[in-house]
Amino acid sequence: MSNIAFRKMRISDIDMVYQLEVESFSVPWGAETFVRELTENKLAHYYVLLDNDEVIGYGGMWFIVDEAHITNIAVRKKRRGYGYGKKITSSLIDVAKESNMFRITLEVRESNSIAIGLYEKLGFISVGIRPNYYQDNKENAVIMWKELL
């Protein structure tokens, strides 16, 4: 039986988060980057989605003045298509609102129509393009924003 929970990321989660990162991204962050985000970056807020004790997804954002900037969201490949990405994104939006952020933003690969569709359903709008944003293939990023207050 599934027991889905969303909570702050802990150092003890990093091994599973790093495995998920490698599975999800062509240029993954290193485990040490997550350690720094959790221990040194005062702007950073990272969360995991658990099924029992297994990390099945995670999301992170930085709070910069009154704006939340989503840095990354990932869901295990075998768990995609079941609404977990929506759960993580909605939960990050809720945390940003509870923290009195006025708006929330993110960048997404121009080719990632599934993610763009999800973000649009959650109220994000496309406001521009960052040309050649992604290091691996120089793909453009779509900049998306959502007003919170």
For the chain, how long is the longest CA-to-CA vector?
Answer: 44
**pLDDT (0 to 100) of residue 1:** 62
pLDDT tens string 105-144: 999 999 999 999 999 999 999 999 999 999 889 999 999 9
Mean pLDDT, to the nearest integer, of 95-102? Answer: 98
- Rounded Cα distance between 75 and 25, Å, is 11
Q: What is the pTM of this model?
A: 0.95
Number of Cβ within 10 Å of residue 16's Cβ equals 18
User: Is residue 149 scored above 90 in pLDDT?
Assistant: no
Catalytic residue numbers, as ranges = 107, 119
pLDDT tens string 43-80: 999 999 999 999 999 999 999 999 999 999 999 999 99
